[in-house]
Amino acid sequence: MVMLQLSAVVLLALVAPSLAGDADMLQDVCVADLASPIKLNGFPCKTHITADDFFFAGLKRSGNTNNAAGSNVTAANVQSFPGVNTLGVSMARIDYAPGGQNPPHTHPRATEIIFVLEGILEVGFITTANKLFTKTDTVGDVFVFPRGLVHFQQNRGRGPASFIAGFNSQLQGTQVIANTLFAAAPPVPSDVLAKAFRIDNSQVDAIKAKFM
């Protein structure tokens, strides 16, 4: 019985790292072939690669924040930066207009760590026990959002704000809570959302109309 329990512990210890992030790479490099018709868990490797495949210049410039959220995400993940395929890392730059927000969302495949470049940001995440952890971050501050937990950022300054984010996944995935519930296709039934939020169907429909 003791040997059986010990074997189970060893097995769990061996499996655990594979659950922590992307799968381990099996070769030195595997630049993503985004044009390949082959569908698999990740992306197949390009045959011919150059140094340009491992270079991305998109984070040096601020993004256009003229939108409803007042924010812009510039992603350096495998979809825009094929060289990170199989490496288990990616980055992003998020820019904010005054009052801009990165609304509550989750990254199902990655923990996120941020470094503030400019401005004053209120950042926070909520645990599965519904406990909020929040801080006001300024230039040079670092904050981490655990994998899969709902989190947000809001510009609390009078000027623009921005930060660089790092992820332990080549493609972290992003699920914005409001869009997921009120802009799904096909739509989530209004009576389901009405009961969940304890409001009337007409109120749900009014919210859905804002996301059309």
Distance of CA 119 to the CA centre of its chain: 21
Would you say 167 and 78 are in contact if contact means Cβ atoms under 8 Å apart? no
The answer to the question of whether 112 is labelled as a binding residue is yes
> For every one of its 212 residues, what pLDDT tens digit does the chain have, with 9 covering 90 and above?
544 444 443 333 444 444 456 877 778 899 999 999 888 888 999 999 999 999 999 999 999 999 999 999 999 999 999 999 999 999 999 999 999 999 999 999 999 999 999 999 999 999 999 999 999 999 999 999 999 999 999 999 999 999 999 999 999 999 999 999 999 999 999 999 999 999 999 999 999 999 98
Of the candidates 135, 73, 70, the one whose C-alpha atom is nearest the C-alpha of residue 96 is 70
For the chain, domain boundaries = 51-173, 175-211
The whole model's pTM is what? 0.86
The answer to the question of whether 41 is labelled as a binding residue is no
Q: State how far the Cα of 104 lies from the Cα of 91, in Å rounded to an integer.
A: 19
Domain 51-173: CATH class, spelled out: mainly beta
The answer to the question of whether 48 is labelled as a binding residue is no
- Tens-digit pLDDT profile for residues 4-16: 444 443 333 444 4
Degrees to nearest 5, angle at CA 76 with 72 and 80: 100
